[in-house]
Chains A and B, each alone.
Chain A
């Protein structure tokens, strides 16, 4: 005998999908703050603690001779945590009232476990910061509030706890509120609420306190039940990262093609004009399949399947966005990164970066500064980020991600960094600025009617960029010119972009500082990308001494699906100086020019060039390049 849930007949409110919603909140702190007591109180008073759980912790407390029931035993789920009496990792607790269901991410408060606090905070709508009324706003409370702000949690509740120990004093409470507000003004939290309470005695947690008549606000639970969180989601910018292409194999659904994913922003409706990124192809939403069939609209965080009006090449990692409102197709990111590994994050390191449903390679172009999260966001210059540090980092990517600033969208604005060797998650990133070829949302890329495939096949060409890097006078231009001559003779369109020539025109306004050089490299890369896209083999010969700049040139091409070949002309420094056809080494030695690569400015040797040319003859070098180019 089996029983199926009937769909007829009356059903109590408990059954089925009543009109309650979900609030995810994070608490941070240690036993001393009264965090566990507060959570225990919320769970106990909302009947989410069960008799057998209480019995078990009572028995342990008795055995240890605690003299009170240690509610922390309830939340500290690991043996190590119970033994040490601290919270190490995030624990998730659940309770519900008729209005709302709640998920508490109970996170450790100690700085040593910042990464676990960040983990718990990343999905939260609301953050609870505890302040001991006797001690006032301590460094730890400020750090918790700062992390909540950085993680974009829009609602902050400051629970001024242990009011029973300060005689329920309004003056004390007001002083703490004033102190906290002056600090919080510098944070980016739109909604801060202060509640005086005694978690131990139950005042203003679930029930209103009669002992603080001067407090006119609601108790904590009432606030949690009524705080408006739905408006925190981004309902303006339609963003749909494709997770999975659904193509049934049975005859009944022979022509079905759906793209499954979770809406990351905006409201999607059938008939909407959309664009598939990074390709940039335009189409229309034909239909949206929800978990229970067709839906008229989809919004975050719904998991749905989109069907498109045109048959396009759409796969996992693509983003479907509103045609007139696109994310940046970004090959370089500026982000706040919380570092989570023992080995530090350093300039030049490479990681995998997972952003929505897309995983690309990332290189740390620069560690801009570390943020002192204990104080008030002081920034300090540094070359690396250690475990639990948070800092601003510049990354260049091997392929673009479709990104928005984190402040605008917590889903399309976040990423994780993964160590490719250990597979560990080593960093959490919040995007400050995403830059790619579409820098301004007002400038829309015009894809034109002619596709690259059609252009190339009609003309019988295949574009690519060959990037020659090396010290001045290493022979880059000579080899590039020889390759160019050989290709053109064979009927292959090729064109040389020479560093020196560039500075006569396109880069005539630039000097030789690090920034100007980076810009010069960027311009060369963008010009080469256009040539390659047109079907020409672009041959760039440019000293391009910095790894980060070369990486960026590579990602500009990768982001556009164009072949990119890095050729390192590795002529020894003394040999270059001996050649010195333009007399530049001599002038640099004489101090007439400064910032000269190889003399008083470093050349960062490529460690993963596609072709390395050492002491080869020009003819042998050309052969090597052509072989690798394999046109």
Chain B
């Protein structure tokens, strides 16, 4: 490349920073959804870059299912401490205790879907009017359709057929009271872009992204971690093997992949070579139906 050209990673970085600043300037109470997963790590890092040397001018929020990997929770707390940002934890357990949602039962029970209520309640309780998320368009085809700045009505719902046209880099984040916007600065990043960026920026990620020995069991073609949050079905036998996680979510619905990739180099090589999408390989929640994500998104999911 000759002069005055940006690499595609730096172009994506600039686009994301621009959007983060737009929302911070135009909305009164934004919040950044931070799970400790790789996408939200990149997102928080971009927010940090967007305002430095000043601090990130909004809090971060974690919707905690109570079924998270302990390594990830520890990482989350350390990272927000380093950046000096305020952490809000919205707890699914609280929503259950308050009777806002009813816990699923049985061996396939998951708190994944319950998160939507916890998230929307927290947005309303704190008066947040914009929520940054790390979702990417390459993850899933309903997400491929979503705007970078996406309107949510007073019920937190997404109407895919009535999206505001999003032209040039002119984002329309205007809302009425009680409504909010979801903001996806990583919309145009791929999984590989995220990993390459983590490498370039030398970002720390939770250890479960790298190969480690773990007690797992096989279900529906996926490997799940043995944990207090999952009941085994007859015939399911736990065994130890070397695995790593491609996505970080609830232990009850996030699958591990067999891997010996213990370094960033080998993880990136593995991602570059894989023939299966990250959600297809590791997320039970997307396997419900052809439009599982579209349906959950309509309800207000991340």
Binding site for B on A (CB under 8 A): 1-7, 11-12, 14-22, 47, 50-53, 56, 60, 74-80, 82, 88-94, 96, 100-101, 103, 115-116, 118-119, 122-123, 230, 233, 235, 243-244, 246-250, 252-253, 256, 260-262, 267, 291-292, 299, 301-303, 316, 340, 352, 354-357, 410-411, 414-416, 418, 423-425, 428
Per the bound structure, the CA–CA distance linking A316 and B198 in Å amounts to 31
Contact of B144 among A91, A250, A416 (CB under 8 A): A91
* Interface residues in B, total, Cβ within 8 A: 84
In the complex the two chains form, is B170's CB within 8 Å of A354's CB? yes
Residues of A within 8 A of B263 (CB): 3
In the complex the two chains form, is B196's CB within 8 Å of A3's CB? no
Contact of A77 among B165, B170, B176, B294 (CB under 8 A): B294
Residues 192-236 of B contacting A (Cβ, < 8 Å)? 192-193, 196, 198-207, 210, 212
Residues of B within 8 A of A301 (CB): 6, 11, 14-15, 18
Contact of B276 among A52, A88, A244, A261 (CB under 8 A): A52
In the complex the two chains form, is B141's CB within 8 Å of A77's CB? yes
Task: Decide: A425 near B291, CB < 8 A? Known: A20-B8, A51-B275, A354-B172.
Answer: no
Contact digits for B157-179, partner A, Cβ 8 Å, 1 yes 0 no: 00011011111111010111000
Residues 31-79 of B contacting A (Cβ, < 8 Å)? 49-55, 71, 75
Residues of B within 8 A of A88 (CB): 161
Per the bound structure, the CA–CA distance linking A12 and B273 in Å amounts to 13
In the complex the two chains form, is A50's CB within 8 Å of B200's CB? no
Q: List 15 A-B contacts (CB under 8 A).
A: A4-B202, A12-B268, A15-B200, A21-B6, A77-B140, A79-B291, A230-B5, A233-B4, A250-B55, A262-B17, A267-B4, A302-B6, A410-B168, A411-B169, A423-B176
Per the bound structure, the CA–CA distance linking A303 and B14 in Å amounts to 5
Residues of B within 8 A of A4 (CB): 202-204
The residue on A at minimum CB distance from B136 is A94
Task: Decide: A96 near B196, CB < 8 A? Known: A3-B264, A244-B21, A246-B53.
Answer: no
Check B187 for interface membership: any CB of A closer than 8 A: yes
Per the bound structure, the CA–CA distance linking A303 and B49 in Å amounts to 10
Residues of A within 8 A of B71 (CB): 1-2
Residues of B within 8 A of A12 (CB): 265, 268-269
Distance (whole angstroms) from the CB of A170 to the closest CB of chain B: 36
Residues of A within 8 A of B1 (CB): 19, 21, 230
A-B contact count (CB 8 A): 241
Per the bound structure, the CA–CA distance linking A12 and B192 in Å amounts to 13
Residues of B within 8 A of A418 (CB): 172, 174
Residues 102-149 of B contacting A (Cβ, < 8 Å)? 137-138, 140-145
Distance (whole angstroms) from the CB of A354 to the closest CB of chain B: 5
Per the bound structure, the CA–CA distance linking A52 and B15 in Å amounts to 30
A-B interface, 9 closest residue pairs, ranked by CB to CB distance from nearest: A77-B141, A52-B280, A22-B8, A101-B8, A248-B54, A303-B17, A423-B174, A303-B14, A51-B275
Per the bound structure, the CA–CA distance linking A122 and B168 in Å amounts to 5
Residues of A within 8 A of B192 (CB): 14, 96
In the complex the two chains form, is B276's CB within 8 Å of A21's CB? no
In the complex the two chains form, is B167's CB within 8 Å of A7's CB? no
Contact of B168 among A2, A80, A94, A123 (CB under 8 A): A123
Distance (whole angstroms) from the CB of A358 to the closest CB of chain B: 11
Distance (whole angstroms) from the CB of B118 to the closest CB of chain A: 26
Distance (whole angstroms) from the CB of A498 to the closest CB of chain B: 42
In the complex the two chains form, is A249's CB within 8 Å of B269's CB? no
Task: Decide: A94 near B22, CB < 8 A? Known: A17-B10, A119-B165, A230-B2.
Answer: no
In the complex the two chains form, is A78's CB within 8 Å of B160's CB? yes
Task: Decide: A243 near B22, CB < 8 A? Known: A5-B203, A15-B199, A53-B277.
Answer: yes
In the complex the two chains form, is B200's CB within 8 Å of A425's CB? no
The residue on A at minimum CB distance from B12 is A22
Binding site for A on B (CB under 8 A): 1-2, 4-15, 17-18, 21-22, 24-25, 49-55, 71, 75, 137-138, 140-145, 160-161, 163-170, 172, 174-176, 187-188, 190, 192-193, 196, 198-207, 210, 212, 263-265, 268-269, 272, 274-277, 280-281, 290-291, 294
Per the bound structure, the CA–CA distance linking A356 and B170 in Å amounts to 7
Per the bound structure, the CA–CA distance linking A154 and B53 in Å amounts to 38
Per the bound structure, the CA–CA distance linking A410 and B167 in Å amounts to 11
Contact of A118 among B54, B167, B210 (CB under 8 A): B167
Distance (whole angstroms) from the CB of A397 to the closest CB of chain B: 16
Residues of A within 8 A of B143 (CB): 77
Contact of B277 among A17, A52, A262, A355 (CB under 8 A): A52
Residues of A within 8 A of B53 (CB): 246, 248, 252-253, 256
Task: Decide: A89 near B188, CB < 8 A? Known: A19-B1, A77-B144.
Answer: no
Contact of A2 among B18, B75, B172, B277 (CB under 8 A): B75
In the complex the two chains form, is B172's CB within 8 Å of A21's CB? no
In the complex the two chains form, is A14's CB within 8 Å of B196's CB? yes
In the complex the two chains form, is A291's CB within 8 Å of B165's CB? no
Most buried by B among A5, A244, A252, A302: A5
Distance (whole angstroms) from the CB of B270 to the closest CB of chain A: 10
In the complex the two chains form, is A21's CB within 8 Å of B22's CB? no
Residues of B within 8 A of A22 (CB): 6-8, 11-12
In the complex the two chains form, is B24's CB within 8 Å of A414's CB? no
Per the bound structure, the CA–CA distance linking A11 and B12 in Å amounts to 22
Residues of A within 8 A of B142 (CB): 77-78
In the complex the two chains form, is B165's CB within 8 Å of A428's CB? yes
Per the bound structure, the CA–CA distance linking A17 and B268 in Å amounts to 13
In the complex the two chains form, is A21's CB within 8 Å of B18's CB? no
In the complex the two chains form, is A60's CB within 8 Å of B75's CB? no
Distance (whole angstroms) from the CB of B26 to the closest CB of chain A: 9
Per the bound structure, the CA–CA distance linking A291 and B185 in Å amounts to 15
Distance (whole angstroms) from the CB of B53 to the closest CB of chain A: 5
Contact of A119 among B5, B17, B166, B199 (CB under 8 A): B166
Residues of B within 8 A of A101 (CB): 8, 190, 193
Name 8 extra pairs, CB < 8 A, besides A5-B198, A93-B138, A302-B14: A3-B264, A15-B265, A15-B268, A74-B141, A75-B141, A89-B160, A291-B49, A357-B22
Residues of A within 8 A of B51 (CB): 244, 246, 260
Per the bound structure, the CA–CA distance linking A22 and B204 in Å amounts to 26
Per the bound structure, the CA–CA distance linking A90 and B165 in Å amounts to 10
The residue on B at minimum CB distance from A418 is B172
Residues of B within 8 A of A256 (CB): 53-54
